[in-house]
């Protein structure tokens, strides 16, 4: 069964607040509203996400695991990142587990206060073996520009 951590009531309130601010054009520590078409309904779905910049690349990490946005993105293969009125269409490539280690480490370095509890005690200072252990539970996508939908 795929790994998934269901949001608590507090998580839902926090996410709603971050999404509302981001829609107004206030990015909270790199937040964006991710919009992706539902794999069954075809309707646009949205959720707040943190976009990580590491070197020359940007990434989306799913700290809760196999979320609906992950499942929808795997089918749709493209989406939109929104801050205020700025809408950025994008595509992305899902990384293999061995390629996730430095991305997950950087993600935890930046957002541990927000998402650390979803990583089973692993911190940015943990050894690579610990990241290899949790990598299958946390989908990671490398963002690429997408001129069309």
Question: In this predicted model, what pLDDT tens digit does every residue of 26-37 receive, in sequence order?
Answer: 888 889 999 999
Q: What are phi and psi of 147, to 5 degrees?
A: -70, -15
Q: Are 40 and 51 in contact (CB under 8 A)?
A: no
Task: Give pLDDT tens digits for 91-148.
Answer: 999 999 999 999 999 999 999 988 999 999 999 999 999 999 999 999 999 999 765 5
pLDDT digits (tens, 9 = 90+) for 67-94: 999 999 999 999 999 999 999 999 999 9
**DSSP label at 136?**
G
The CA distance from 74 to 3, in Å, is: 16
pLDDT at 29: 81
- Rounded Cα–Cα distance for residues 96 and 128 (Å): 15
pLDDT band at residue 149, thresholds of 50, 70 and 90?
very low
DSSP string, 92-134: EEEPPGGGSHHHHHHHHHHHHHHHGGGGTT--TTS-HHHHHHH
Alpha helices by DSSP H, listed for 24-100, are: 68-76
């Amino acid at each position: 069964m795929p790994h998934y951590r269901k949001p608590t009531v507090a998580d839902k309130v926090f996410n709603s607040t971050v999404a509302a601010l981001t829609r107004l054009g206030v990015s909270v520590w790199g937040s964006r509203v991710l919009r992706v078409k539902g794999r069954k309904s075809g309707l646009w779905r949205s959720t707040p996400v943190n976009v990580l910049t590491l070197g020359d690349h940007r990434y989306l990490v799913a700290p809760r695991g196999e979320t609906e946005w992950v499942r929808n993105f795997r089918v749709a293969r493209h989406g939109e990142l929104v801050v205020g009125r700025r809408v950025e269409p994008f595509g992305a490539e899902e990384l293999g587990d061995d390629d996730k280690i430095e991305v997950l480490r950087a993600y935890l370095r930046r957002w541990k206060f927000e998402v650390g509890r979803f990583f089973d005690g692993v911190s940015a200072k943990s050894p690579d073996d610990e990241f290899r252990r949790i990598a299958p539970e946390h989908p990671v996508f490398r963002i690429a520009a997408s001129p069309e939908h």
